[in-house]
Chain A
Amino acid sequence: MNKFLWPLAGFIILAVFLRIGLDLNPHEVPSPFIGKPAPEFSLPVLGTPGEALDKHFSPRDMRGKVWLLNVWSSWCVSCRAEHPFLVRLAKEGKLPIVGFNYKEVRGDTEIDASKLGAEAERELVQKRARAWLAQRGDPYQLTVLDIDGRVAIDYGVYGVPETYLIDREGIIRVKHIGPLTEDALREKIMPLLEQETRGKP
């Protein structure tokens, strides 16, 4: 063999490993929740200023619809990056999005929530969440508040943002970790959505 072919051979082996490495994108971890019913909960819905938190939302309310559950917090940096995309997506109107505000106050290390009373914390959560949506646009059909993060544990949320696609039967079909992007929507969510709409008119 031509000895000058060795560099090429070495490079090809390297390229194969790089290609495999790409598929093993470390951000993608198979979630145990896919294909399982979305855990039930009943959480207060964010209302207009002055309104009490007496309206509640439960995933059951969305039966018969395909929808997205988007976990966010105003202290989360990646949520900021993701938000403009959600606003655009909401404008298209193909998919209802429910906002899931995660530990708005407790998750923020700049505030010591233990020093606040429960009532004060609830007030602050609403104020901050409203301010965020007012400033950046509100893509959500409604926003639920998981003030203590207990429901998030059932969903296996371990970082914000995360997005779940839940189908008509209330089954989690996709769990997207990290900011939702155009590509993720096209590759992971749209195919399932089309399948759903074709399957059940």
Chain B
Amino acid sequence: MKARHQRIALMVGGLAVLGIIIALVLNALTSNIVFFFSPTDVVEGKAPQGRAFRIGGMVKEGSLQRGADGITVHFVVTDTEHDMPVTYKGILPDLFREGKGVVAQGKLGEDSLFVANEVLAKHDENYMPPEAAKAVDEAHARAARNRTAETLQQ
């Protein structure tokens, strides 16, 4: 009799602990998932306000500017269709270059300025992070479609 009670108590306890763990994991997961958006997505209002997300594309040529403190930088991330101004306070990665792919993580601030708290550039390649590449390519595809549509109308 006692052993059976003990067993039931154990099972109930175990299930409760499991429930707590699952709740913890799900909660942490949903609040820390970072979605990826292209500059076009942001312009179209798909990106969330007040929640961190990632933005990717190319650093626009000639767009890098330094603030007076020397540490804050402004640059423009573009998918060739739309531009997204980004500001970041900190030191840029070694492989950050104008005209190269970049992924920045942060939040949308006022005046649709993207305030980044993390800028990622890949470590050992001259290469574009895949998310950034996707953003640029989709913009290209849209541009190509529009051009075809225009030619047809003429």
Contacts and interface: CB of A to CB of B under 8 A. Distances in A.
Indicate yes or no for A touching B, C-beta below 8 A.
yes
A135 interface: no
Contact of A159 (B98, B100, B141, B144): B100
Given A78-B126, A158-B128, A29 B134 contact: yes
B133 interface: yes
A27, A31, A159, A177: which has the most chain B beta carbons within 10 Å? A159
Contacts of A156: 136-137, 140
- For the side of the interface on B, what is the size category? 20 to 34
A109 B137 contact: no
Interface residues of A, number: 25
B126 A77 contact: yes
A159 B80 contact: no
Interface of A: 26-27, 29-33, 36, 75-79, 103, 106-107, 109, 149, 153, 156, 158-160, 177-178
The 3 tightest CB contacts between A and B, nearest first, are: A26-B130, A32-B141, A159-B128
Given A27-B133, A33-B144, 18 more contacts: A26-B130, A26-B131, A29-B130, A29-B133, A33-B140, A36-B144, A77-B126, A78-B125, A78-B126, A106-B99, A156-B136, A158-B58, A158-B137, A159-B100, A159-B127, A159-B128, A159-B133, A178-B127
17 contacts: A26-B131, A29-B130, A29-B137, A31-B137, A31-B140, A32-B140, A33-B140, A76-B126, A78-B127, A107-B99, A153-B80, A158-B58, A158-B128, A158-B133, A158-B136, A159-B127, A159-B133
